[in-house]
Every structure is written in C-alpha cells, then in structure tokens.
Amino acid sequence: MTRVPLKLKGKFYRTAIRPAMPYGAGCWPTKRQHVQQISVAEMSMLRWICDHTRRDRVRNEDIRGRLGVAPIEEKLIQHRLRWFGHVQQKAPEAPVRSGTLRRDSNVKRGIGRPKLT
C-alpha cells in the first residue's frame, strides 16, 4: 500500500479544508473563545492527518512543521485585516464604514422568532 507524503496531505488541507474553516471571519466579532475552538478543531484534524493522538505527546509546532501549515490564528488576523482594507475603500458616508447600520425606529417588529419561509 502506498503512503501519501505528509507535505501532500498538508497541501490538500491548506487548499480544500482550511478555506472553509474561517469563512467570513473578516466580519466576525471574534472572541478568544472562538479562536481557541477553531484552533483546537484544526489541531485535531492535523493530528488525525499525521496519525498522532494526544497520548503520543507530539508538540503542535512539530505537527505544523511536518505538514507545512501555519497557525489558524494568523489566518484569522489576515482575514480581518483584508476585511478592514475593503471597508476603508468605501465612501466615508457608507454605513459599513461608520460602523452603524441604521434601523428605522418607528417600525414595529413581530413577537418571537422570524419565520423560516
């Protein structure tokens, strides 16, 4: 049986799986808990790819080095900065630029959760 090299597995992870994880992260109000949950999920996937468990006591940096994958926290920061750059290109009077989305105060909203259909 042929073994797939770890670098190739890392490349597949970077191109197919990782882009889906922080999708829309540029405009998320991310908290430390969210970043930690995403990084824990990422490390469990990377450990599974390398065929290591937590009991093997292999450092996260070693696993990332074998696969050639950067920490997802850095990618989240890049997404946020990219979003910030797009926002800065908008006109100064744009709602997204001023940070406020106007909602009419005289509109009555219904009671309860919005209908799905």
The secondary structure element, H or E, covering residue 105 is: none
Instruction: Report the pLDDT averaged over residues 72-94.
Output: 87
How much is the mean pLDDT over the chain?
Answer: 87
Q: Is the pLDDT of residue 34 over 70?
A: yes
User: Is residue 98 domain-resident?
Assistant: no
What pLDDT, on a 0 to 100 scale, did the predictor assign at position 100?
A: 64
Residue 46 near residue 69 (C-beta atoms within 8 A): yes
What pLDDT, on a 0 to 100 scale, did the predictor assign at position 104?
A: 65
Helix, strand, or coil (residue 116): coil
Instruction: Report the pLDDT averaged over residues 81-110.
Output: 78
User: Is residue 50 domain-resident?
Assistant: yes
User: Is residue 70 domain-resident?
Assistant: yes
Q: Is the pLDDT of residue 1 over 60?
A: no
Closest CA to 72 of 9, 13, 12: 13
Look at the chain and report how many structural domains it folds into: 1
What pLDDT, on a 0 to 100 scale, did the predictor assign at position 17?
A: 92
User: Is residue 102 domain-resident?
Assistant: no
User: Is residue 97 domain-resident?
Assistant: no
User: Is residue 100 domain-resident?
Assistant: no
Please state the pTM of the whole predicted model. 0.72
Q: What is the DSSP code (8-state) at residue 88?
A: H
Give the largest CA-CA distance in the chain. 69
**Domain encompassing residue 31:** 6-92
Instruction: Report the pLDDT averaged over residues 22-46.
Output: 87
